[in-house]
Structure 1
Amino acid sequence: MIPLQSQRNPYIIGRPITEPEIFFGRHEQLAFIEENLRQGEKVILLHGQRRIGKSSLLQNIPKLVKVDKSAFVSFDLEYYSQENLENLLENLAETIVEQLKISPDKVAIPKAKDIQEEKDIFCTNFLPQIQEHLKDTNLVLLLDEFDALSNNHIGVELESLFKQLKNIVYKNKRLFVIIFAGRKPADISNLLKIFPKVPIAEVGLLDNESIKQLIIQPVADSLKYQPKAIEAITDLSAGHPYFTQILCFAIFSRARELEKWEVSEEDVEMIVDRAVELAEAGFAWYWEALSVPEKVVFSAVAEAQKIAIEKKDQELEKNPLMLLKSHDDVLSRDLLKKLTKELASKGFLNEQASKVKIELVRRWLIQRHPLWHEIRELEKLDKQEIKYTYETLNQIPQTSQNQKQSTLIQSGALNQHPQKSEQDLSFVKASKRKFYLNKTEIWLVAFTILLGAAAIASFVIMYYYAERNNGYFEKKQSLMPTAISTISQV
Structure 2
Amino acid sequence: MRPVNPYIVGNPVKDKTGFFGRQDIFRDVMRVLRQRESNAIVLYGQRRIGKTSVLLQLEKQLAAEGEFTPVYFDLQDKAAKSLPEVLYELSQHISRVTGHTIASPADFGRTGDYFRSTFLPQIAEKVASGGLVLLFDEFDVLDSPARTQASEAFFPYLRQWMTDLQKVKFVFVIGRRPEDLSVRTMYSFKDIQSTRVSFLTPKDAEDVIRQSERNGSLKWDDSAVRRILELSHAHPYFTQLLCSVIWENANEEAPGAAPVVVARDVENAIPQALKFGANAFNWLWDGLPPAERVVVAAMAEIKDEVITQEKLIETLNQSGVRLVARELEFAPETLIDWEVLIKADGGYRFAVPLLRRWVLANRPLRRVKDELDRLDPLADTLFQAGQGFYNNNDADTAEQQLRQALNINPNHLKARLLLGRILLEKGRLQADGTPREVVGKYLDQFMPGGALEADVRDRPRRGGAGRALRIESIRLVPEGGGRLVFKTPFEIRLEAVALENVDGVVFGAGINTMQGARLMTFLGDSMGLVSLARGQKASVRIRVPGLGLPSGKYVLDAGARSGG
Q: TM bucket by the smaller chain? A: 0.7 to 0.9
Separation of aligned partners in 1, 2:24 and 2:224: 27
Aligned 1:81-230 pairs, distance under 5 A: 81-102=79-100, 104=101, 107=102, 109-111=103-105, 114-134=107-127, 136-149=129-142, 150=144, 152=146, 154-155=148-149, 157-158=151-152, 161-183=154-176, 185=178, 186-187=180-181, 190-220=184-214, 221-230=216-225
Q: 1:154 to 1:13 in 2, by over 3 A?
A: same
Q: In the alignment, which residue of structure 2 is the partner of 1:52? A: 49
Q: 1:286 to 1:33 in 2, by over 3 A?
A: same
1:120-162 alpha-carbon deviations (Å, 9 max, x no partner)? 111011111211233745100000110012354741555x522
Structure 2 residues without counterparts, runs of 5 or longer = 380-407, 410-516, 530-540, 553-564
In the alignment, structure 1 residue 39 sits paired with structure 2 residue 35: yes
Q: In the alignment, which residue of structure 2 is the partner of 1:8? A: 4
| DSSP 3-state at the match of 1:64 | helix
Deviation of residue 101 (structure 1)?
3.3
- CA radius of gyration, larger in: 1
Q: Count residues with an aligned counterpart.
A: 397
**Alignment check: 8 A CA contact 1:43 1:176 kept:** yes
Q: In the alignment, which residue of structure 1 is the partner of 2:26? A: 30
In the alignment, structure 1 residue 372 sits paired with structure 2 residue 369: no
In the alignment, structure 1 residue 252 sits paired with structure 2 residue 247: yes
Q: 1:165 to 1:328 in 2, by over 3 A?
A: same
Separation of aligned partners in 2, 1:8 and 1:389: 56
Q: Which has the bigger relative contact order, CA under 8 A and spacing at least 6? A: 1
Separation of aligned partners in 1, 2:326 and 2:163: 46
Deviation of residue 382 (structure 1)?
5.5
Q: 1:390 to 1:354 in 2, by over 3 A?
A: farther
Separation of aligned partners in 1, 2:162 and 2:78: 20
Q: In the alignment, which residue of structure 2 is the partner of 1:262? A: 260
Give the alignment's TM-score, normalised by structure 2: 0.64
Structure 1 residues without counterparts, runs of 5 or longer = 402-415, 429-490
1:361-396 alpha-carbon deviations (Å, 9 max, x no partner)? 000001110011111331465673577997489x99
Separation of aligned partners in 2, 1:390 and 1:211: 43
Separation of aligned partners in 2, 1:286 and 1:22: 23
Q: In the alignment, which residue of structure 1 is the partner of 2:550? A: 426
Q: 1:417 to 1:137 in 2, by over 3 A?
A: closer
Greater alpha carbon shift after TM alignment, 203-212 vs 117-126 = 117-126
**Alignment check: 8 A CA contact 1:83 1:153 kept:** no
1:291-317 alpha-carbon deviations (Å, 9 max, x no partner)? 11111101001111xx337xxxx8879
Q: 1:257 to 1:219 in 2, by over 3 A?
A: same
Q: 1:258 to 1:391 in 2, by over 3 A?
A: farther
Q: In the alignment, which residue of structure 2 is the partner of 1:320? A: 312
**Alignment check: 8 A CA contact 1:9 1:252 kept:** yes
Separation of aligned partners in 2, 1:67 and 1:42: 19
Separation of aligned partners in 2, 1:171 and 1:45: 19
Deviation of residue 166 (structure 1)?
2.4
Q: 1:391 to 1:238 in 2, by over 3 A?
A: farther
Q: In the alignment, which residue of structure 1 is the partner of 2:354? A: 360
Separation of aligned partners in 2, 1:426 and 1:346: 29
Aligned 1:377-392 pairs, distance under 5 A: 377-379=371-373, 384=378, 391=520
Amino acid at match of 2:33: L
**Alignment check: 8 A CA contact 1:229 1:265 kept:** yes
Separation of aligned partners in 2, 1:418 and 1:156: 35
1:137-196 alpha-carbon deviations (Å, 9 max, x no partner)? 5100000110012354741555x5223112123322111111111247532754442332
**Alignment check: 8 A CA contact 1:332 1:427 kept:** no
Q: 1:308 to 1:67 in 2, by over 3 A?
A: same
Separation of aligned partners in 1, 2:6 and 2:521: 41
| DSSP 3-state at the match of 2:169 | strand
**Alignment check: 8 A CA contact 1:30 1:64 kept:** no
| DSSP 3-state at the match of 2:170 | strand
Q: 2:301 aligns with which of 300, 303, 310?
A: 303
Q: 1:241 aligns with which of 199, 213, 236?
A: 236
Deviation of residue 85 (structure 1)?
2.1
**Alignment check: 8 A CA contact 1:138 1:174 kept:** yes
1:78-98 alpha-carbon deviations (Å, 9 max, x no partner)? 132332222111111111111
Separation of aligned partners in 1, 2:362 and 2:524: 28
Separation of aligned partners in 1, 2:65 and 2:519: 44
More helix by share: 1
In the alignment, structure 1 residue 348 sits paired with structure 2 residue 340: yes
Deviation of residue 209 (structure 1)?
0.2
1:256-287 alpha-carbon deviations (Å, 9 max, x no partner)? 11116110000001110111111111112211
Separation of aligned partners in 2, 1:231 and 1:319: 29
Separation of aligned partners in 2, 1:267 and 1:278: 17
Separation of aligned partners in 1, 2:157 and 2:526: 23
Separation of aligned partners in 2, 1:365 and 1:115: 48
Separation of aligned partners in 1, 2:362 and 2:518: 23
Aligned 1:59-98 pairs, distance under 5 A: 59-65=56-62, 69-98=67-96
Q: 1:119 to 1:63 in 2, by over 3 A?
A: closer
More strand by share: 2
Separation of aligned partners in 2, 1:391 and 1:188: 16
Greater alpha carbon shift after TM alignment, 223-232 vs 352-361 = 352-361
| DSSP 3-state at the match of 1:36 | helix
